[in-house]
Amino acid sequence: MIVAIDGPAASGKSTTAKMVAKKLKMTYLDTGAMYRAVTLALLRSNTDLDDYDSVCQVVDELELDIYDQGAKTVVKLDGEDVSQAIRSMPVTENVSAVSAVKYVREAMVEIQRNIGKKTNCVVEGRDIGTVVFPDAEFKIFMVADVKMRAERRLKELHEMGENRSLQEVMTDLKRRDEKDSTRSHSPLQKADEAIEIDTSMLSIDQQVGKIINLVREKNN
């Protein structure tokens, strides 16, 4: 069984998907973390993001590992735990450009489908219900007011020791949403049959409860 959760940046997907997975005893898969890890590999190797062949080469050579460990998702790049490093601002600023590259997407989608074949998963991203798992049993599209999203993300960044202004965070979210929605390969899009949840006025428990109820209603 696949529960697909898509939506714009900082709309609450990660927290919600993680809790839903825990309650339903399913695997949680954060596909954004995968695109972030590829971005980190490209930045570390000083690859020119406009140099297509070099980008492909880095993608071919990197070794990516992603798995749940207790309540945490561990992301490993060439054996090194990069779970923190992929949340840094330079990665965040470049990830939308990297994830727009078809070759990068194809490589990541293959890994995602392989994980989905082996286990029941709650998968979050931008193209999960539309491209990666078009036959997912449950499709959710999470949205929220941009100011609310920026406030939530600012709080997370402060907790990680990154000092940013609300304006900076809001600008980044808007820029990424625009880029993610307008790219030609697998743009951020609500699948026709997806259920939209606006989290602006919802608590985490309410968001999680809505999805759990959907799954339980259908499975009973």
Q: Which residues of this chain interact with ligand CDP, rule CB under 6 A?
A: 9-10, 14, 31-32, 35-36, 95-96, 99, 125-127, 176, 180
Instruction: Tell me which DSSP letter residue 127 carries.
Output: S
Q: Which is nearer to ligand CDP, 127 or 170 (CB)?
A: 127
Q: Which is nearer to ligand CDP, 83 or 96 (CB)?
A: 96
Closest CA to 130 of 121, 142, 140, 122: 140
* Closest distance of CB 132 from ligand CDP, Å: 7
* Closest distance of CB 31 from ligand CDP, Å: 4
Cβ-contact 72, 83 below 8 angstroms: yes
Cβ-contact 1, 118 below 8 angstroms: no
Question: Phi and psi at residue 143, in whole multiples of 5°?
Answer: -130, 160
Q: Which is nearer to ligand CDP, 137 or 156 (CB)?
A: 156
Radius of gyration, alpha carbons of the chain: 17
Closest CA to 26 of 103, 119, 124, 99: 119
Q: Which is nearer to ligand CDP, 36 or 139 (CB)?
A: 36
Angle 101-104-108 from CA coordinates, rounded to 5° = 140
Q: Which is nearer to ligand CDP, 105 or 215 (CB)?
A: 105
* Closest distance of CB 203 from ligand CDP, Å: 19
Q: Which is nearer to ligand CDP, 9 or 82 (CB)?
A: 9
* Closest distance of CB 64 from ligand CDP, Å: 14
Question: Phi and psi at residue 50, in whole multiples of 5°?
Answer: -90, -5
* Closest distance of CB 7 from ligand CDP, Å: 8
Amino acid 122 reads V
- Tokens encoding 180: 């993610």
Coil/strand/helix, residue 48: coil
| CA 99 and chain centroid, separation | 11
* Closest distance of CB 65 from ligand CDP, Å: 17
